[in-house]
Amino acid sequence: MIAYPSGTATRDNTAIRFRQSFFNQNLVFLKVGSDGNIQLKNDSTSAVQIYADAHAYTKTAPGATAGSTLVPLKPARIGQVNVPANDSVLVEPLGKAGIPSGGVSDVLFTMAAAKSSASGKLIVYPSDGSLPGDTNLDYGLNLLVQNQVLARLGADGKFRIRNAGSKAITVSLDVAAYLAEPSAAVKGTTTQPTPPYRLADDVRVPAGGTYTVAPLDRGGVPAAGVSGVYLNLTNVHHTGSGIIRVYPSGTAPTETHAVTFMEAMAYSGALPAKLGEDGKITVHNTGSAEIRLWIDQFAYFKEPATGCAGGAAPAGMQKASKVSVADPEPYNPTTVLQASPTAVGSLGILEFAYTDGIGRLMHGRANPDALWSIQWTPIHGQEGYYGQPTLGEQADGRLNVLAHNLSGNVWSRTQATKDPAAWGDWVNVQKPMGSTVTVARHDDTLVAFAVDGAGSLWALPQYAANDAYRGWIQLGVSGVSTATAPLAVPVADGLRLFYLDASGVWRTALYARGALSDCASLSEPGFTGTASVVSSPGHRVRIFVRSPNGHILTKKQDGAGVFPQEWEQVGSLVAAGSPSAVLSPGSGKTEIVVRGTDDRIHSTGEIVQGSGQWRAWAVAQRHDDTYVPATDPTAFAYTGTNGPTWAFIFRTVNQEVRFYTPESETLRSTVTSPTFKGRALPKPPAAR
């Protein structure tokens, strides 16, 4: 059976193979003609009865109501289920085989049935829906059959499989894609049906052999910006039995079914096929004999536009460069986060993390009213880490740490339980990065950012709250510096990113649901170091950087969200390090600390809330405080029994953590800098 858009020439393709006295199904994406119709052509010598069921549609342009977007996956098995005779089973796909644990409206999977001693049919429908009148898969006596299924999930995230047959049957479920809800954390691809196009015409694939499909720039598919294509595979005139597997080029095969075939039968099977990093797809013949293969293309999946220029290869199409690290960095700043309280009325624990000079990843926990009771724990296991780690909190309150492994990859570790605090296992995210990593909260999900060795900007999103990280996605920006991690700040429409390019220009962009927009340059070339950003009510942000001549500069968004062209200089101090700024929760003023050329920490702050008028710089360490900072300071806000306040910390050359709090703050206008009380936090355990 051939299918093509009405009003166009007949296309040489296979939409479905059929056989005598038996129903066959195949789910294909079909482009409609200009009259809104599709054409079906029976190219056999006998009449055939057709049932056409519509399962979904795509829009030619965004509508008033946003629809779900498709995310192709490397095929993986959800599981095998036994469906009793004249009964149904519930299937819960969320959180399995690459599917997020939330934000999913539908899943696409191949349902393959084992040989049965009876005939029957299988029907898939939402867990809270009524039994529909169509059939997803007919099975027969001693036949191997399969079909691609688009399953809508019920409100509980499950779907039901009904067996309208007299015998129980076992089916395998191999997912190849899912549809992300409009509100999902990451936007998927848009589906672009094309006139059917034959990619492979009677190709011989030997037993155990593979065939590589290259769909880009063919049959209406663009040469770039494509994550996958919708294929239909047909094999005929074979002499053996087996399974055809389809998976992204450059990856290992998994135990999944695209087309299951047996002796002296012709089979077709359709599925969304995710592209490898080289833009190609591998087809693997697991059978015991050579097969003849036809492959037809019916649609492609277009990556969302980033809205940023930069000349990088499209998302998913550029391989990150391998990064090798010779030695750890001993004096990177310490990361601080106050966790959410574990009970009503309790105080959130202060969480600290840093890496030391021998590659240990140290984690500290302290009651904000009893910092001397801090407990330091090395959480690196047998691995070594370098650079400043980053801390995030899952939607359910569990702590997550991301750090740069000495292998070049970013590794992630999340608490298995928050109270009592206990760590889960390390997870290698499997992508070499040149910069260190940062993380920020995007609604109820976490998103990490880093730059690969080639200077391309990547995001590592959770696709649902409390979900695992699913892999890096490229954001289409190249020429980014690897010397510093991107900075991400939550704003009304997503995350405001700040990053330094290879020429030393500070740039900004808005990240939302996996794509960038609202991109702008903030500086001339020649800048180095890291930025610090303060967010005011109304999601207005102010950025602080160190200029090429060492002065601290700042810009603040105006009411329209636009940054001014010119920088404002904050006093005359010449700094040796990067600034760290915080919005004081006590006074409502922005406070800044920085390491000076005299090896002392200096402080300034606003004279009046939101004024951008600054006190004179003053040394924040008392004259009898002889501790020399070996790291840049980290300023942070936190809440103790006496209310909200702020503090800053640094580490000495001996990795001792010094903690400083302002002794008094006031809401009134003042040009006087606060005095700071400093103390040493207990040392971490000795290296073993």
Q: What is the pLDDT of residue 287?
A: 87
Taking the C-alpha atoms of residue 140 and residue 146, their distance in angstroms, rounded to an integer, is 11
Question: pLDDT (tens digit, 9 = 90+) per residue, 371-408?
Answer: 888 989 999 988 999 999 999 999 999 999 999 999 89
Here the tokens at position 356 are 């030391």
Question: What type of residue is 134?
Answer: D
Question: pLDDT (tens digit, 9 = 90+) per residue, 214-266?
Answer: 999 999 999 999 999 999 998 876 677 888 999 999 999 888 988 877 766 67
Whether residue 668 has pLDDT greater than 60: no
For residues 668 and 261, the model is more confident at: 261
Q: Averaged over 4-18, what is the pLDDT?
A: 79
Nearest to 584 by CA among 652, 495, 676, 508: 676
Kindly write down the DSSP assignment for every residue of 299-317, as one continuous string.
EEEEPPP-S--S-PPPTTT
306 Cβ neighbours under 8 A, 6+ residues apart: 315, 475, 476, 477, 515, 516, 517
Tell me the domain boundaries of the chain: 68-302, 531-688
Whether residue 39 has pLDDT greater than 90: no
What are the C-alpha distances in Å from 389 to residues 319, 376, 402, 412, 594? Answer: 24, 15, 6, 10, 20
Question: pLDDT (tens digit, 9 = 90+) per residue, 501-541?
Answer: 999 999 999 999 888 988 999 999 999 999 999 998 888 89
How many CA atoms does the CB half-sphere of 124 hold within 13 Å? 25
Q: What is the pLDDT of residue 264?
A: 62
Looking only at the bridges linking them, the beta strands covering 335-338 and 291-302 are unpaired
Q: What is the number of other CB atoms lying within 10 angstroms of the CB of residue 593?
A: 28
Question: pLDDT (tens digit, 9 = 90+) per residue, 643-661?
Answer: 999 999 999 999 999 999 9
208 Cβ neighbours under 8 A, 6+ residues apart: 285, 286
Q: What is the pLDDT of residue 669?
A: 47
Q: Averaged over 130-157, what is the pLDDT?
A: 90
Q: Averaged over 611-621, what is the pLDDT?
A: 95
Q: What is the pLDDT of residue 665?
A: 64
Taking the C-alpha atoms of residue 309 and residue 517, their distance in angstroms, rounded to an integer, is 10
Taking the C-alpha atoms of residue 613 and residue 671, their distance in angstroms, rounded to an integer, is 10
CB 551 within 8 A of CB 575: yes
For residues 364 and 14, the model is more confident at: 364
When pLDDT is cut at 50, 70 and 90, the band that residue 19 belongs to is: low
Question: pLDDT (tens digit, 9 = 90+) per residue, 537-588?
Answer: 888 899 999 999 999 999 999 878 889 999 999 999 999 999 999 999 989 9
Question: pLDDT (tens digit, 9 = 90+) per residue, 331-348?
Answer: 999 999 999 998 887 899
Q: What is the pLDDT of residue 650?
A: 97
Kindly write down the DSSP assignment for every residue of 172-208, as one continuous string.
EEEEEEEEE-TTSSS--BEEEEEEEEEEEEEEEE-TT
Whether residue 667 has pLDDT greater than 70: no
Nearest to 445 by CA among 425, 461, 423, 421: 461
Q: Which class in CATH covers the domain with range 531-688? A: mainly beta
Q: What is the pLDDT of residue 12?
A: 78
Any idea which residue has 């976490």 for tokens?
Answer: 446
Q: What is the number of other CB atoms lying within 10 angstroms of the CB of residue 8?
A: 13
Whether residue 168 has pLDDT greater than 50: yes
Whether residue 123 has pLDDT greater than 90: yes
Nearest to 172 by CA among 82, 265, 97: 82
Nearest to 197 by CA among 226, 232, 235: 232
Kindly write down the DSSP assignment for every residue of 43-112, as one continuous string.
-SSS-------------SS--SS---EEEEEEEEEEEEEEE-TTEEEEE--TTSTT--SSSEEEEEEEEE
Q: What is the pLDDT of residue 20?
A: 64
Kindly write down the DSSP assignment for every residue of 410-438, as one continuous string.
EEEEEEEETTTTEEEEEEEEEEE-SS--E
Q: What is the pLDDT of residue 315?
A: 32
Question: What type of residue is 191?
Answer: T
Return mean pLDDT, the chain. 89
Whether residue 23 has pLDDT greater than 90: no
Is 0.75 surpassed by the pTM of this model? yes
Any idea which residue has 């155990």 for tokens?
Answer: 208
CB 215 within 8 A of CB 295: no
When pLDDT is cut at 50, 70 and 90, the band that residue 183 belongs to is: confident
Highest mean predicted confidence (pLDDT) among 8-12, 105-109, 187-191 = 105-109
**Is residue 259 within a helix (H) or strand (E), and if so which, with residue range?**
strand 259-261
Question: What type of residue is 238?
Answer: H
Nearest to 326 by CA among 359, 304, 367: 359
Q: Averaged over 473-488, what is the pLDDT?
A: 93
